[in-house]
Amino acid sequence: MPELVIETTGLRKEFSTRRGRRIAVDQLDLAVPAGGVHGFLGPNGSGKTTTIRMLLGLARATAGEMRLFGEPVPHRLPSVIGRIGAVVESPKFSPHFSGRQNLTLLARSIGAPTTAVDAAVDTVGLTGRDKDRFKSYSLGMKQRLAIAATLLKEPQLLILDEPTNGLDPAGIREIRETIRGLGESGVTVLLSSHILAEVQQVCTSATIIGRGRMLASGPVDELVGTSTAYRVAAPDPDAASRVLTEAGFTVRDGLLVETSDPAAVTRALGGAGIWLTELTPVRRDLESVFLELTSGTEMGASE
């Protein structure tokens, strides 16, 4: 398998609207490595769905190149589509049939063995509820059934567009566990979401976009970087804050000290006879990385 499962170069999509031209995707270079969960992150309207639709041949690119498993798409899409599962819109299931019956019908229609149904039900954690009617399912269970449906053909790449949309915290956690398990089993998952902090918990690598453009990409650990701030506790916080400020540190509210050198904090406080009771590294999350990258500008599509 090529190193990159998804690759786009200079990808662009313009829509003609009554108000003129809308650029939904702008010079996007996306590189998704094989294996693990890759977050495709950006606020509402930043171009995630449009990009996914172009990759899957559901929308035509205005310019740029796309490759899936090294094959140029849409030209060679038929040769790779069998290796791809995608949940882009809510699939249609029969409400009166059970989840299992729905999956069995689907399996038959694509020539997958019934053992694939057992495996898919198990992977998404629907065992025990698979014989209940679809209409009795919670939104989270319906979403997991949608993922199970894509697993029937044992895809090597799974594309999930905002799979936790509209779910409650318990539903979000269940989907997250399902996705994590899939990533660990060797499937490459492209997970689009606008909830950055939530996605951070499950992704190994990520691409952050805004206004259809790539803002940052790479392993999540590298994106969030090492700790650049430490939370300090001391018996007299005001005195500690004064000493640290005088020593040249930037001190934010709640005794949050911006530094990558915790020993220097200890030295400065100890030198002034202040003995700290806590020194905790504060890791940035993807959300703060995103806010830094965009400085709060509107990141929907540009017109």
Ligand X SMILES: Nc1ncnc2c1ncn2[C@@H]1O[C@H](COP(=O)(O)OP(=O)(O)OP(=O)(O)O)[C@@H](O)[C@H]1O
Task: Tell me the window of 45-53, 109-117, 127-135, 179-187 that interacts with ligand X (CB under 6 A).
Answer: 45-53
Q: How far is the CB of 191 from ligand X (least distance, A)?
A: 13
Residue whose CB is less far from ligand X, 12 or 100: 12
User: Measured from the CB of residue 74, what is the shortest distance to ligand X in angstroms?
Assistant: 17
> CA-based diameter of the chain, in Å?
76
Task: Please report how close the Cβ of residue 43 comes to ligand X at its closest, in angstroms.
Answer: 7
Stretch that binds ligand X, among 17-25, 28-36, 82-90, 244-252 (CB under 6 A): 17-25
CB of 190 to ligand X, least distance (A): 13
Q: Is position 207 an interface residue for ligand X (rule: CB under 6 A)?
A: no
Partners of 15 in the β-ladder: 22
Residue ranges of the alpha helices (H) in the chain? 48-55, 77-80, 99-110, 114-123, 139-151, 169-184, 196-200, 220-224, 237-246, 262-271, 286-294
Cβ count near 177 (within 10 Å): 14
- Give the shortest CB-8-to-ligand X separation in angstroms: 14
- CA distance linking residue 60 with residue 221, whole number of Å: 34
From 104, 112, 170, 108, select the one nearest 141 (Cα to Cα): 170
How big is the chain, counted in residues? 303
Given 64, 219, 237, 300, the residue binding ligand X (CB under 6 A): 300
Among 47, 85, 140, 210, binds ligand X (CB under 6 A): 47
User: Is 28 or 121 the residue whose CB approaches ligand X more closely?
Assistant: 28
From residue 152 to residue 171, the character string flagging contacts with ligand X as x (rule: CB under 6 A) and all else as - is: ----------x---------
Q: Using alpha carbons, select from 244, 236, 225, 231 the residue that is nearest to residue 284.
A: 225
Q: Does 22 bind ligand X (CB under 6 A)?
A: yes
Contact with ligand X (CB under 6 A) among 9, 17, 250, 280: 17
Give me the numbers of helices (H) and strands (E) for the chain, helices first please.
11, 14
210 contributes a contact to ligand X by CB under 6 A: no
CA–CA distance, 28 with 288 (Å, rounded to integer) = 22
The 10 Å Cβ neighbour count of residue 123 is: 18
Kindly list the residues in this chain that would bind ligand X in the complex (CB under 6 A). 15, 17, 22, 24, 42, 44-50, 162, 194, 300-301
